[in-house]
Amino acid sequence: MVVPILDRLEGKKLPVTRCSIAKARGNRWYYESFHSSFYRLGACPDHDSWRGLGPGADARAGGRRRHCHDREVFVRTSQPTSVRLLYSTDPNLGNPTPSPTFQTTMRRDLTKIIPLNGLASETTYYMNVVVNDVAQFAAPPYPSFKTFPLSGTSRTFNFVVLTDFFNTYELTQNLQTFASAAATSPVFAFIGGDFDHRNPQTSTDKRQMFKDLYNVATPHMEDFVNLILRKTPIMHQWDDHDSGLNNLDKTYPYWNVNQQVFQEYVPSYPLPSVTPAGIWQKFSYAQADCFVLDCRSQRDVATDPDDANKSMLDGNNLGATGELQWLENGLLTSTARWKIIFTSVITNPSTKENDAWGAYQTEWNALRDFINTNNIQGVVSIAGDLHLGAIDNGTQSGFPEISVAKPNSEQPPPPVTQCASARVGIWSEGYYNDTCSGFGLVTILENPDRLILQVADEFGAIKISYTVLHP
């Protein structure tokens, strides 16, 4: 499992455990929040991740893998102090295993990533955070996480997709979406880009965006924190509005700032070593390999001529170390039944032609030809940015695709009659426009192998469904 990887500051989701924040009150430290993510037990290249928030108002966490059997927990304190973890498979934390003791320092913005060793797959662990020799939980229930199954195994499972959040400071009402998504018992929640839409410019603003999203006290966000962040493993990718400006590309001057804040606040799997930024990454769950794209930091300008020199994934001409080659190699070598591509923008070229994959058709068509020529089976894409629930069977882009609606959108007042951020486009299975809030639900089944893409409304009612059979 992966949690926030926090190299420098507060939290990020990686194969780490985005862990906790402890805060001083007088001479006593108390536990304020918890995140966790870690690698799963299994082959070194694959990882599991989990992220959760504890009982406090805010949370940071993150982690990074050291070697095959390590999981890591990110901790942030409000003052320089000592910190360690106790963890166990016993809900009462009996006979816990202690981690080494570490010191948080101002130089690292009071953060520390703590490794947990020897965790088993598909196992629930419980943990306590000890800050300045004071345990932050006096009694059960303790924060917990469950590790992922080994990659290559077969399981029946489902996960949810939440993307394109409404600005937290503009919310005026509670919505049922997060409770409905949690009620499906997802093994993880994928959080797409535009998390939210405030276009933060400075590192302070970018960090504040995450703090608001993770804060249980933020009006109308309590279900997201309590039911998703505190209970469900997550993975996240950025897009334009949560990175800084509308329709961002490689020319944006602050990608390095975005990278730092992302690694502070978002659980992640191992990220590429590129300059100035890049967040493409891969994780696995049982018979599914999941490829998380970065559709912004590497892209050429959308208005450039659409030819072989224009790229969404390798505009910086990184070649063998770039995102396009990484994706092609990953798809080609994957032995998983399902290859799921998480793209923050629509692949369907019948809409968003000036910003999404419709503006990069030469590269997309070459990628599609690569997949077909190499007989790579079980490819589906999951997209955001259109703010609309819709499904295509592959007629438009070459592979089945689901577009996921905003989870906490508010119905626009008349005369506006559509939820989409652009022309709806053509979708073989249709689109759902009656209400603007909803989520994506993906179910993977066995005997026979099949994957079901589902558009759900705010209340969890399935409005559109399409079953992909594995050849």
Residues in CB range of 253: below 8 A, 6 or more apart: none
* Torsion 462-393-365-336 (CA) sign: positive
d(CA 156, CA 313) in angstroms, rounded, equals 32
Question: Would you call 458 helix, strand, or coil by DSSP?
Answer: coil
Question: Would you call 129 helix, strand, or coil by DSSP?
Answer: strand
Provide the token pair at 3: 């949690």
Question: Distance of CA 19 to CAs 34, 101, 120, 304, Å?
Answer: 5, 15, 19, 43
Residue type, 70: D
Tally the residues of the chain. Answer: 471
- pTM listed for this prediction: 0.84
Q: Which pLDDT score is estimated for 451? A: 98
Q: Which pLDDT score is estimated for 189? A: 93
DSSP class per residue in 274-326:
-SS----EEEEETTEEEEE---STTPPPTTS--STT--SS-TT--GGGSHHHH
Residue 208 φ then ψ, to 5°: -65, -35
Q: Which pLDDT score is estimated for 82? A: 95
Name which of 413, 421, 406, 422 is nearest 456 in CA terms.
Answer: 406
- Is the distance from CB of 4 to CB of 235 less than 8 angstroms? no
Residues in CB range of 240: below 8 A, 6 or more apart: 193, 194, 246, 247, 248, 296
Angle (CA) 98 189 129, round 5°: 20
d(CA 438, CA 313) in angstroms, rounded, equals 29
Which domains does the chain carry? 16-146 (2.60.40), 157-469 (3.60.21.70)
Residue 130 φ then ψ, to 5°: -110, 115
Question: CB 309: neighbour CB atoms within 10 A?
Answer: 12
Provide the token pair at 455: 């558009």
Question: Would you call 409 helix, strand, or coil by DSSP?
Answer: coil
Q: Which pLDDT score is estimated for 28? A: 31
Q: DSSP state, 169?
A: G
pLDDT tens per residue across all 471 residues of the chain: 333 322 222 332 222 233 333 322 332 333 333 333 322 222 233 333 333 333 322 223 333 333 333 466 666 777 899 999 999 999 999 999 999 999 987 777 776 777 777 888 888 888 898 999 999 889 998 877 778 898 889 999 999 999 999 999 999 999 999 999 999 999 999 999 999 999 999 998 998 898 889 888 899 999 998 888 877 878 899 999 999 999 999 999 999 999 988 887 777 788 999 988 899 999 999 999 999 999 999 999 999 999 999 999 999 999 999 999 999 999 999 999 999 999 999 999 999 999 999 999 999 999 999 999 999 999 999 999 999 999 999 999 999 999 999 999 877 776 767 899 999 999 999 999 988 999 999 999 999 999 999 999 999 999 999 999 998
Question: Distance of CA 123 to CAs 89, 287, 399, Å?
Answer: 8, 18, 34
d(CA 329, CA 121) in angstroms, rounded, equals 26
Q: How many CA atoms lie within 13 A of 184 on its CB side?
A: 28
How far from each other are the two terminal CA atoms of the chain, in whole angstroms?
A: 29
Each residue of 41-66: pLDDT tens digit?
A: 222 333 333 333 333 222 233 333 33
Given the structure tokens 């961002």, which residue do they identify? 248
Q: Which pLDDT score is estimated for 14? A: 26
d(CA 7, CA 21) in angstroms, rounded, equals 15
d(CA 434, CA 304) in angstroms, rounded, equals 36
Q: Which pLDDT score is estimated for 298? A: 97
* 203-214 helix and 255-265 helix, angle to the nearest 10 degrees: 30
E strands present in 366-420: 379-383, 389-392, 401-403
- Is the distance from CB of 177 to CB of 405 less than 8 angstroms? no
d(CA 257, CA 277) in angstroms, rounded, equals 9
Question: Distance of CA 82 to CAs 101, 102, 130, 342, Å?
Answer: 7, 6, 8, 39
